[in-house]
Structure 1
Amino acid sequence: MEIKNSLTSPELLPTKDSERDISLLDFTLLWSGMTINIAGFAIGAQLYPGLSPMKIIYAILVAYLMVTGLLVLTGDIGIKYGIPFAVYTRACFGYKGSYIAGFIRAIPCFFWFGFQTWVGAIALNEVMKMLVGYSNVTLLIILFGAIQIINAIYGLKAMAKFDWIAIPTLAIVLGAMMFWLLKTHNVTIVDILATPGDNTAPFSFAVMGIAGGWITMALNSPDLTRSLKRSENYENQTFFQRNKNSIIAQILGLVLVGTAILLVGMTAGILTGTWNPIDVVIESFGSSKPVVLAFCFLTIVFAQWSTNTAANLLPPAYIMLNIFPKLNFVTSTIISGIIGIVILPWKFGNYLVQFQAITSGLLGPIVGIMITDYYIIRKQKLNVKDLYEEGGQYTYKNNFNPAGMISLFISFGIAMIFSDYAFFIGFGLSVVLYIVLMRTMVLNKYDQKIGQHIPFD
């Protein structure tokens, strides 16, 4: 009974149609809000001079289109079955094996929540210095972190509503920043694109540096799509019909918006040599314009806020509920936020691209195993009932799926040997290993009811 209770946390149960209240517009705003963030700006700046501007643009397009494809593939799990990432990994790794996959997934969430909270606190601190002449970054990190946690506790609908403020204001600031950067340095977009790079960074490394953070969301795509409205006839729709709104929202909110912010960051990196948006804002607008500066700084705060709630607090909160079933969503969200702050990720601000690339290599095998399990092994038909039952078909050997665990660790270990191609090697190898191991070690020993859809009771 203890295991059964641990598997049926209310927040992890499949969403009902009445709980699916996110529209196409809401979902587009949600993705735009997550994408408009200073991490993207900073990574765009740090890619130069390792690559030329044109190669950076190619890397951006390749990265975001690849991520969109992964998001749609994993997001179908949430649309069709209403279950989050933390629950689906029970099928891939076993009831307890899912803890390991979840812990790995939570690492970048903690890092980025803390880092982006720090950026927002720095911006707030600049405003506070202008208004009252007082500075206390530590206090503002705590206060800003607490505000974001409270917003996340109220769910995806509250996060999407907040994006109505964050997206337009940041779009204005980014446009103004781009204008002033070009004007003050007396250059044009054509001049920027013609700027030579030293081409010391591998193209694949740049792609994964850009995509790394969003590959984390490819894992947690079901956490978002499980709240997306769907057609009453969804069971008879094709894959693309069922996922149409998800595809549209992510092309608009991720690919287009993400490309724009990375290009502004790249321009700032080329012209100023810095990745810190606070320094770029001061250089662009000058300390003689306090009202403009205050607006820009507050907009930077909104940008971190809109990203952190959905991308960096919601996923680890669900993961912690899976690992520690006695927690509730409020408590797990608070703990996730605290961890992100106490690890002080801003100490590693000069190595964001490297962190993204390592992250992508770590998560590539999990993405590969998850997609392979859903599409190739189970053919999109799940025994949802057993995902929540003690002693169900996902018990495997001592609650660990040997195929999933072996594939994960071997793929990651080999991928790290070839760090510039870590994601591609880890992803591809995990697909092959998982298929072979499932068919030779697991399916002939543990009945997985392949091809059967058994709903949750």
Structure 2
Amino acid sequence: MSKENNHLKSPDLLPVSYAGKKIGSLGFMIMWVGMAVVLAAFAIGGAGVESLPLGMVILAALIGCIAIGFFITIIGDIGIEHGLSFPVYMRAPFGTVGTHIPSVVRGLAASFWFGINTFFGATAINGILFVLFSFDNWFLCFMIFAFVQLLNTALGIKAIERFADLAAPIIILISIWIFSTLSGSAAEQGRNVWVWVENPASGGAAVTAFFIVIFSIMGFWATLAADIPTISRFIKAPKYERNWFKRNKASLLGSVVAMPLAQTFIVVIGAVSFIAVSNYDPIIALQEAASGLVLVVLLVMIVFAQWSTNIAANLVPAATIFSNVGGPKVPFWVGVFMAGIAGSVVQPWNLFDILIPVLLIVGGILSAIVGILFTDYYLLRKRRVNVYDLYKNNGQYKYLNGFNVAGFIAWIVGGVAAYFLTNYSFIVGFVVGGGTYYVLAKYWWFRKYQQAEIEDPDDEKYLGITVGRDWDVDGNQQSEKTIMEKGS
């Protein structure tokens, strides 16, 4: 094997085999419960009840969550079918070198979210220690909390699932407690959380506010919708299953059932926090509404929530991306600590009010990548992928010096459109980016650089788990028949 090819064949980036898929339906649902508890969701809820009653905010949140959940599942099939991570498959629509540019944008966004969520969790830890021991040093809490999360993530994907198993039930139970506590606090002020609205909107303004809640949620999760293959490659799925819904059952249960329920409830907590103390930050709300041991237990939920969210939604995707850029010299655990450092040096405690809107804009721009991935995988390649060439510098995905120009033009066009229509950025970026890529790739780029799976649409050659195949790209390429016999 040549040294040149080794760069693309870092052990942490090879296709995950059938035996390597360790996350079941329940495990993925539990992971989503942890990932759903994020500061942005609280903020969306708080902003929503400024102009809409809580019931309308809940309906909008459910619609947005279910919609983005379907997009996440659709893109997640890349990981389930072929065992490929996000930065590896991105070599198809962007090139073996070009993949690094959009991937690093996503990796940095994930790293910055890690910093923000760690700061959020550190303030909760500091609050706990202050109540119990009168200790007050949030920066020390930040450093220790960050290190513990990085160490946990570096242990690997199964360790992440085990932690989520512990965190999820605690998060659910204490979330209910927080809702009850804050609702009671609001009631004491004469505010019924179900009817109180600070500045009620009506007519067209109410419709606009309703859609802003929907697309805010979709825009926020656009980043994970793009790189969900990094997680979904570890999700269990049946071999030889051609029915898309049956093959993606575990993914659907997590992204379209568990996530909408958990995420919507977190949006509600942010809304009730705002109603109770005019601040969507539940840490501030709880410190005003509770005290003593009750406050400590409630703040523990915040800590667990940020921990589980950071591991699955931020550190794993970022570390995988950084490992892809660095090759074998940057194994997964090194990528984890790179993400942690990047998320800390931006000093999220100083840039907090700036980072949130910036990262939401980045999410909108990345929605164009979701559209490009959908078009490339479903509409052009019909789910067939010449996986072996994804790991060759001189294979079909080399294109023009490692760049797929069609992908970059589509990303720029879709990203710009999403930027100027921020309130509807996900749909705009998805449609414009995906549509532009379809035209450019089909009628221009792929005529210059022919793709084997498009020219010869053979399921037995280019599908993965559907035909019982484990992709072996590390020098032991066996015939499809042999591989299928082993898997039967």
TM-score in same-fold range (> 0.5): yes
Q: Is the 8 A contact 2:45 2:269 kept in 1?
A: yes
Partner of 2:403: 400
Match of 1:254 in 2: 259
Aligned to 1:427: 430
Among candidates 299, 302, 305, match of residue 303 of structure 1: 305
Cα deviation, residue 198, structure 1: 4.0
Q: TM-score, normalised by structure 2?
A: 0.88
In structure 2, the residue matched to 1:439 is 442
Which deviates more, 124-133 or 395-404? 124-133
Deviations 1:98-134 (A, max 9, x none): 0111022123212211011011111111122233322
Root-mean-square deviation over aligned CA pairs: 2.1
How far apart, CA to CA, are the structure 1 residues paired with 2:24 and 2:317? 20
Separation (CA, whole Å) in 1 of partners of 2:356 and 2:261: 20
Could you say what secondary structure the match of 1:398 adopts? Answer: coil
Size of the aligned set, in residue pairs, is 452
Query: Is residue 227 of structure 1 aligned with residue 227 of structure 2?
Result: no
Alignment partners' CA distance in 2, 1:350 and 1:410: 28
Give the drift of 1:327.
0.7
| Aligned residue number for residue 383 of structure 1 | 386
Equivalent position SS for 2:283: helix
Larger deviation: 351-360 or 148-157?
Answer: 351-360
Contact 1:106 1:315 in 2 (8 A): yes
- Report if the CA contact (8 A) 1:78-1:226 is conserved: yes
- What is the alpha-carbon distance in structure 2 between the residues aligned to residue 22 and residue 414 of structure 1? 37
CA–CA separation in structure 1 for the residues paired with 2:343 and 2:172 = 27
Query: Secondary structure of 1:255's match?
Result: helix
> Deviation at 1:202?
4.2
Is residue 210 of structure 1 aligned with residue 211 of structure 2?
no
Unaligned runs of 5+ in 2: 463-470, 478-488
Which residue number corresponds to residue 34 of structure 2?
A: 33
State the one-letter code of the partner of 2:266: I
1:79 equivalent in structure 2: 80
Bigger shift: residues 32-41 or 243-252: 32-41
Q: CA deviation at 1:95?
A: 0.7
- The one-letter code of the counterpart of 1:372 is T
- Is the contact made by 1:52 and 1:195 (CA closer than 8 Å) also made in structure 2? yes
> Which amino acid is 1:221 matched to?
I
- Deviation of 1:351 after TM superposition, in Å, equals 6.2
- Residue of structure 1 in register with 2:418 after alignment: 415
Measure, in 2, the Cα distance between the counterparts of 1:347 and 1:66: 34
Q: Distance in 1 between matches of 2:425 and 2:360?
A: 8
Amino acid at match of 1:211: M
- Contact kept, 8 Å, 2:91 with 2:98, in 1: the verdict is yes
Contact 1:205 1:357 in 2 (8 A): no
More moved, 167-176 vs 431-440: 167-176
Structure-1 residue corresponding to 2:324: 322
Q: What are structure 1's unaligned runs of at least 5 residues? A: none
Distance in 1 between the 2:191 and 2:76 partners?
38
CA change 1:204–1:96 in 2 (3 A) is farther
CA contact (8 A) 1:36 1:167 kept: no
Cα contact 2:80–2:232 (8 A) shared by 1:
yes
Show the counterpart of 1:43.
44
Matched, 1:266 2:271: yes
Question: Could you tell me how far apart the structure 1 residues matched to 2:42 and 2:277 are?
Answer: 13
- Conservation of the 8 A alpha-carbon contact between 2:21 and 2:236: yes
Once the two structures are TM-superposed, the CA of residue 167 in structure 1 deviates from its matched residue by 1.9
Q: Would the alpha carbon gap of residues 177 and 186 (structure 1) be closer, same or farther in structure 2, given more than 3 Å must change? A: same
1:212–1:356 Cα contact (<8 Å) kept: no
Q: Which deviates the most, 384-393 or 21-30?
A: 21-30
Identity of aligned residues (%): 33
Asked if structure 2 preserves the Cα contact closer than 8 Å seen for 1:91 and 1:394, the reply is yes
Measure the CA separation in 1 of the matches of 2:13 and 2:51: 43
CA distance in 2: counterparts of 1:345 and 1:55, whole angstroms: 32
Q: Deviations over 1:249-290 (max 9, x none)?
A: 2233201111111112111112211122211111221x3xx2
Per-residue deviation, 1:158? 1.2
Shift of 1:350: 4.3
Counterparts of 1:423 and 1:191 in 2: how far apart (Å)?
A: 33
Contact 1:202–1:420 under 8 Å retained in 2 = no
1:365 aligned to 2:372?
A: no
